[in-house]
Amino acid sequence: MRLRADRLALDRGGRRLFSELSFELSSGQALVVRGENGAGKTSLLRAIAGLAPLAAGALELSGGGDDAPLGEQAHYLGHADALKSALTARENLQFWAAMLAAARPRAGGRRAAGVSAALDRVGLGHVADFPIHALSAGQKRRVALARLLAADRPLWLLDEPSTALDLAAQGRLHELLREHLAAGGLIVAATHAPLDLPDARELRLGAAAAA
């Protein structure tokens, strides 16, 4: 599987955030996007997910045996956790699993984890039936991260994924990231914090090219 970005340009609010931006990722590779606030990190992730229009350039995800549009093969985890406060952690995850067609495994990939198993993996099995409004900020973030497991998609687009996580939860996150890459997945993560992915490539927006 390969993700290819060819000479991307993106505008926001009448301002050109970046142009002539190109990179490639193959199965099992991660790209860490860095840059100052306002450099376009979130906008890049949203463009890859199909949530923001490009001003120029092309994006292609190929080789996975899936003809679905790129955005439908990707998980986008943004700044907002996208959880309903009145629903329980389990109910929120059940909703997202259904929305993201969790029962359909990708070609050559792993079958999605069940809702209970996904919550267990992020250390939240004991609060599965608590309403979201009763959880801490870090616990809410972990429920959002459990979506990555409840619906199996090859490309993970992560915007500051470790926000509000304590050290133990960060360790769980890094383990999930490494497992996804080992299974042939791809990751593009925008973050100011270090990620425990020693072989990850780095892209600094405002710089000339990916390292």
Q: Which residues of 142-167 are buried (b: 16+ CB within 10 A; e: fewer)?
A: bbbbbbbbbbbbbbbbbbbbbbebee
Tens-place pLDDT, residues 75-128: 999 989 999 999 999 999 999 988 886 434 454 455 567 899 999 999 999 999
pLDDT at site 104: 47
Residue 73 lies in a domain: yes
Residue 209 lies in a domain: no
Residue 210 lies in a domain: no
Domain ranges, residue 170: 2-204
Residue 161 lies in a domain: yes
The enclosing domain of 166 has a CATH number of 3.40.50.300
Residue 172 lies in a domain: yes
User: Which of 105-109, 151-155, 164-168, 204-208 has the lowest average pLDDT?
Assistant: 105-109
For residue 152, name the pLDDT band (cuts at 50, 70, 90): confident
Residue 108 lies in a domain: yes
Number of domains in the chain: 1
Residue 25 lies in a domain: yes
Tens-place pLDDT, residues 171-202: 999 999 999 999 999 999 999 888 888 789 99
Residue 211 lies in a domain: no
Q: What is the pTM of this model?
A: 0.91
118 backbone φψ class: left, alpha, beta (φ>0; ψ -120 to 50)? alpha
Tell me: pLDDT of 208 over 50: no
Tens-place pLDDT, residues 46-77: 999 999 999 999 999 998 777 788 988 999 99
The average confidence (pLDDT) of the chain is: 90
